[in-house]
Every structure is written in structure tokens, then in C-alpha cells.
Amino acid sequence: MSESDLQLDSDMDNTVLGSDVEDQASDYQMQLLQSHREAFYKAFTPYYEVASKSSKLITDDKYRMIRDIIQTPKQKKEKPIIVKYRRIYTIVGNIDSRCLHRNNKVVTTCDQVFDVILEAHSRISHARNPKSNLTCITDTLGYYGVPVEVVKHFINTCPLVCSMSYLLYVHAYCF
């Protein structure tokens, strides 16, 4: 007697159906995440283009440039910008995208910022308060360079937060 002989046909159908449903749910979640990522960067990019000179959030190119400067041996006469980079940044570990640190925190970049905020935002159950998200990013997760304005863009484009806000609005004003 085989294992399939011990199962009812309906049990086997539910197993197959269950995996289809799980696959569809996973596909939907991935599409939703991709849509959120696109909406975030669409809102964030114009802000960053204006604020990039004064922002602590850096590009991937600048990250690599600073990392490369810090990793090279110190010279006797270095340009002031190189001296500044050596003073405020350190290399910790050997993972290229996480080795640059400032104030004992991992430096994040424009390309990584969505994933960093998503990690914090999910951890604190999609809280709508930007300062709560930023506290999680800096103190709990240990990232440096994420401005509160960028967190606001993330929250404003979060599908779950938007749907919760809509439901609260409908409940408050329609019932």
C-alpha cells in the first residue's frame, strides 16, 4: 500500500490547489512590492535631486569612491576632502555594500534606501509616524544617512498604510 492510497482524492487536490494559491499570493506580493518600490523612487528622485548637496544620503558611486579612498594607504600630503573622508568614515567588515560606516552605523545609499526603510517599516508594523520609522532605522537597525523626508516619501507610497488611512477616513466620515 502506497502513501497516496492512504489519502483521499480531495486531500491531494487541496495540496495542489494550496500551492497554486500560495504561488499566486507570492506573485501578488512581489508585484505589490515592485509597485511600491517604483512609486517610492518616483516620489523620492525629484526630492533627492534638489537635496543631494545637503543630504547625508549618498549615491552608490560616491559610496564606492569613499570606500576606495579609505582602503588605500594614507599618503603624506592628501587633499582636504580625502582627509575629511578618512576622519568621518571607517571600513568595518568585508561586505562591499555594508562595510562603510559613519558614527558606528552602516552607511546606506540611494539605491539601498528603499530596502532599509522597508526593513524598519515592516519591523514596526507599518507605523505611520516617520520619526518612529527613523528611530528603528538608526537605533535598532544601525543605518546612517536616511533623512526623515525620505522616510515620509516611503510611508506616503506604502500600499498598506494608504489602505489603512483610507479605511480610517471612510470609517470616521461615512459612518
Residue 120 belongs to some domain of the structure: yes
Residue 146 belongs to some domain of the structure: yes
pLDDT mean over 12-24:
63
The residue whose grid cell reads 532599509 is 116
CB contact set of 112 (below 8 Å; sequence gap of 6+): 97
pLDDT mean over 6-28:
63
pLDDT mean over 74-79:
91
- Give the percent of the chain with pLDDT over 90: 57
The SS3 call for residue 100 is strand
Sequence-separated contacts (24+) of 51-59 with Cβ below 8 Å: 51/147, 51/149, 55/145, 55/147, 56/144, 56/145, 56/147, 57/108, 57/109, 57/110, 57/113, 57/145, 57/146, 57/147, 57/150, 58/107, 58/109, 58/110, 58/145, 59/109, 59/110, 59/111
Top-confidence residue, 99 or 18? 99
pLDDT in tens, 26-61: 888 899 899 999 999 999 999 898 988 888 899 999
As a whole number of angstroms, the distance between CA 127 and CA 121 comes to: 7
- The reported pLDDT for the residue numbered 138 is 97
Q: For residue 150, with 0-12 CB atoms within 10 Å meaning exposed, 13-18 middle and 19 or more buried, which class applies?
A: buried
As a whole number of angstroms, the distance between CA 44 and CA 153 comes to: 6
Top-confidence residue, 22 or 143? 143
- The reported pLDDT for the residue numbered 107 is 96
- The reported pLDDT for the residue numbered 111 is 93
Q: Quick one: cell of 18? A: 494550496
Supply the range of the domain harboring residue 39. Answer: 11-174
As a whole number of angstroms, the distance between CA 139 and CA 28 comes to: 32
Residue 115 belongs to some domain of the structure: yes
Domain count, the chain: 1
Residue 142 belongs to some domain of the structure: yes
Judge contact between 40 and 153, C-beta under 8 A.
yes
- The reported pLDDT for the residue numbered 112 is 95
What is the DSSP pairing of strand 105-107 with strand 100-102? antiparallel
Top-confidence residue, 47 or 7? 47
